[in-house]
Structure 1
Amino acid sequence: MHALRCLAGNWIQIPIPRASAAGGATRRRLSYVLGIETSCDDTGIAIVDTAGRVRANVLDSQQEFHTRYGGIIPPRAQDLHRARIESAYQRCLAEAQLQPEDLAAIAVTTRPGLPLSLLVGLRFARHLARRLQKPLLPVHHMEAHALQARMEHKEICFPFLCLLASGGHCQLVVVHGPGRLTLLGQTLDDAPGEAFDKIGRRLRLHILPEYRLWNGGRAIEHAARLASDPLAYDFPLPLAQQRNCSFSFAGIKNNSFRAIRRRELSERTPPDGVISNYGDFCAGLLRAVSRHLMHRTQRAIEYCLLPQLRLFGDAPPTLVMSGGVANNDAIYANIAHLAEQYGCRSYRPSKRYCSDNGVMIAWHGVEQLLQDKQGSLRFDYDSIDIQGSAGFAECHEEAVQAAAIKCKWIQPLG
């Protein structure tokens, strides 16, 4: 079955899933959605079918390049996206063993992200859409992170609470569907992944051969396992007196810098050296970040469970953690432990899908089709544009603050 759409005065056919009976069972012909992700420093191209199976996943990371310069350089990130995106697309088609004409739609990240990087993905998506006469599906990057776990865990139903923690964001949202997210709280300054990267560089973990090409979060998580005294460092809890769901990692970052400096002075660490008990420091840092994430998420759970709101509706209470920081096993274990205390199910995407990737963009496109198949298909290519920053459909930050929920804090594991 096909849907007719008018493009530049011409009617074209768009394949859509069609129900058919066979052996008494109802089956649907699969459609394939291409996902394009270029919001930051990874070029991700993937194809996912409407049953949630990943047919191909290509990811070209720029991490090794940017690590040498201590951070992402937007113009160079754009150059690398331009140089790699066509090749990534061709490799994706080959891996999926599909022809371009087999695609039903093209999903592309349009917001939020680095504008120079977003432009590369959108322009390439427009080029493909025009050439193939396929519809575009604009995707909100953070929404895609929030929805990703549903691809692998079909039992997750709307609405659910999601903790989004990455290198650029930290947010708590209630997810009702694509384009229907309610913000409960967000970071007031640094994101956790950003703080990890800056602290890791200040600690000079990159000097150690095993961490030379790792990002700060991954290096800190590994180094924490080497701790002989995990409680040697204790950091003040941010926003302890604020009864809301906001986050702040600037204080943890600054306290970390001061603690590193004190240790360097006491043991006379050379300029090209690392403090001797860096494992203890990383364990203390990881515990501080876990506590802060747990406390703000705990208040969000209690807000969702308020009898007058019942934000979970009739769905089982569910907490999803997603974004690059969800890769951290120690942090996720604490978030899952918190959820368990409230009878909440907890999930995260597979690690390969926690960080930025094309699969989550393609899956968001599938979710759009499942929610509103005809309304989501866009042929007004030039009307679709990028946004460096973007919010969500609703915001309950003031309502959370007004509720002034006092919590009996759940302590982290260990």
Structure 2
Amino acid sequence: MRVLGIESSCDETGIALYDTDKGLVADALYSQIALHAEFGGVVPELASRDHIRKIIPLIKQVIKEANSSLKAIDAIAYTSGPGLIGALMVGASTACGLAEALGIPALGVHHMEGHLLAPMLEEHPPMYPFVALLVSGGHSQLIDVRGLGDYTLLGETVDDAAGEAFDKVAKMLSLPYPGGPEVSRLAEQGNASRFNFPRPMTDRPGLDFSFSGLKTHTLTTLRTLDAEGELDEQARADVACAFEDAVVETLAIKCRRALQQTGRSRLVMAGGVSANRKLRSQLEGMLQRHVKDAEVFYPRGRFCTDNGAMIAYAGAMRLLAGQQPDAQMTLRPRWPLAELPAPACR
């Protein structure tokens, strides 16, 4: 089965062709970072218009790179939520219109399930069951994954997601958009011993996250340094380092607890923040020390952010598992992963 995947939930247009026998055949991604950079964040209307401009050329590009044709596609998977409603509509309407013209099924895919399954595209994918840490600009969640669609939410953020906190701290530090990678780059120049920021909600039981207080602590530190005339470039790097260390250690502590609580030894990390090198290193080190036979899995760098490959794969797996295609176009801008049914439930 060959499945065309279309991702358009936010500010990246992703297209991919996945073959259930051969694996990922071809994929292409267009990022709107340059478009939104001058505004310091994503402008929904501009995002939607850019998806309209890019989606058909990218589909043609992927089909050409795969040395295939539209007639060779067996199904189309598209992101139906969560995400920006206008951006979702572009991908969904394109997918459903094309599927209708070709006489093939179309299936709406949960964006975060796509991220959760992205490590399955690697040469050595994880086996079920495992614990998944989903960390992105809008989500910070720990999920017990027993199989496709068999998910239990273990913990989530009660306020800012980790990626959102990175972006907000980047603005405090006057760093360009997107902020997360910029904070990490600046942190590499920082002195890790100068500041010791709190590790939020690690002094109490449970697996929920909270990064709003850490964000406020960072802002207070910057204002104090500025008032004392000490906010130079080195101080900014030291603050970035302290903030990143606090986020990374908090995530690692919660992951360790989740594995110990569930009795799992495999951890999957996905989403944009999963590309953070310090997070990967600290997670691997901590789990090796505290969890017997621990293994950590994550997607390659270009599949950490939004992409069409993860949507094509997730759609293909659900269709193989017997899920019925959509009878009509479905869109859910807000869609908790816990509400996603197993394929047999559809």
* Normalised TM-score (structure 2): 0.93
Q: Secondary structure at the match of 1:277?
A: helix
The one of 301, 313, 336 aligned to 2:259: 301
Note the C-alpha offset of 1:254. Answer: 1.0
Match of 2:330 in 1: 385
Distance of 1:202 and 1:50 partners within structure 2? 46
Deviates more, 1:214-223 or 1:349-358: 214-223
Task: Provide, for residues 18-39 of structure 1, a one-character-per-residue CA deviation record: whole Å limited to 9, x for no partner.
Answer: xxxxxxxxxxxxx321100011
1:115: Cα distance to partner?
Answer: 1.4
Partner residue of 1:260 out of 219, 222, 232: 222
Whether 2:202 is the aligned partner of 1:247: answer no
Q: What is the Cα deviation at residue 335 of structure 1?
A: 1.4
Please identify, of 35-44 and 70-79, the stretch whose mean Cα deviation from structure 2 is larger: 70-79
The reply on whether 1:336 has 2:284 as its aligned counterpart is yes
- 1:355 equivalent among 271, 292, 305: 305
Partner of 1:367: 317
SS in 2 for 1:176: strand
Q: Which residue of 1 aligns with 2:106?
A: 136
2:90 paired residue number = 120
Query: Hey, what's the Cα distance between the residues in 1 that align with 2:235 and 2:145?
Result: 42
Q: Could you tell me which amino acid in structure 1 is paired with residue 337 of structure 2?
A: F
- Give CA-to-partner distance per residue, 1:353-399, whole Å, 9 cap, x none: 011000110111222134x1xx324151x2x411111123479xxxx
Could you tell me which of 186, 200, 203 is aligned with 1:223?
A: 186
- 1:321 correspondence with 2:269: yes
Could you give the per-residue CA deviations for residues 233-263 of structure 1, whole angstroms, max 9, x where no partner exists? 2111211343111011111111111111112
Aligned length: 338
Q: Which of 24, 28, 33 pairs up with 1:58?
A: 28
In the alignment, the residues of structure 2 paired with residue 263 and residue 247 of structure 1 have an alpha-carbon distance, to the nearest angstrom, of 27
Q: Give distance in 2, aligned partners of 1:177 and 1:117.
A: 29
Q: TM-score, normalised by structure 1?
A: 0.78
Unpaired stretches in structure 2, ≥5 consecutive residues:
341-346
| 1:59 counterpart SS class | strand
Matched-pair identity in %? 36
User: Comparing 152-161 with 162-171, which one deviates more in the overlay?
Assistant: 152-161
**Structure 1 residue runs without a partner (length 5+):** 1-30, 207-213, 306-311, 396-414
One-letter amino acid of the structure 2 residue matched with residue 115 of structure 1: I
* Alpha-carbon offset, residue 53 of structure 1: 2.7
Separation (CA, whole Å) in 1 of partners of 2:123 and 2:107? 23
> Take 1:284 and 1:393, find their aligned partners in 2: how far apart are those partners?
33
Conserved? CA contact 2:110–2:337, under 8 Å: no
Instruction: Give yes or no for contact 1:235–1:285 (8 Å, CA) kept in 2.
Output: yes
1:219 maps to a residue whose letter is E
- Tell me which amino acid in the other structure corresponds to 1:294: A
Cα 1:394–1:81, aligned 2, differ >3 Å: closer, same or farther? Answer: closer
Between Structure 1 and Structure 2, whose CA radius of gyration is higher? 1
CA RMSD of aligned residues (A): 1.8
What is the rounded CA distance, in whole Å, between the counterparts of 1:67 and 1:194 in structure 2?
16
State the alpha-carbon separation in 2 of the partners of residues 217 and 55 from structure 1.
Answer: 30
Kept in 1: contact 2:125–2:297 (CA 8 A)? no
Q: Does 1:345 align with 2:295?
A: yes
Q: Aligned with 1:298: secondary structure? A: helix
CA distance in 1, matches of 2:37, 2:166: 13
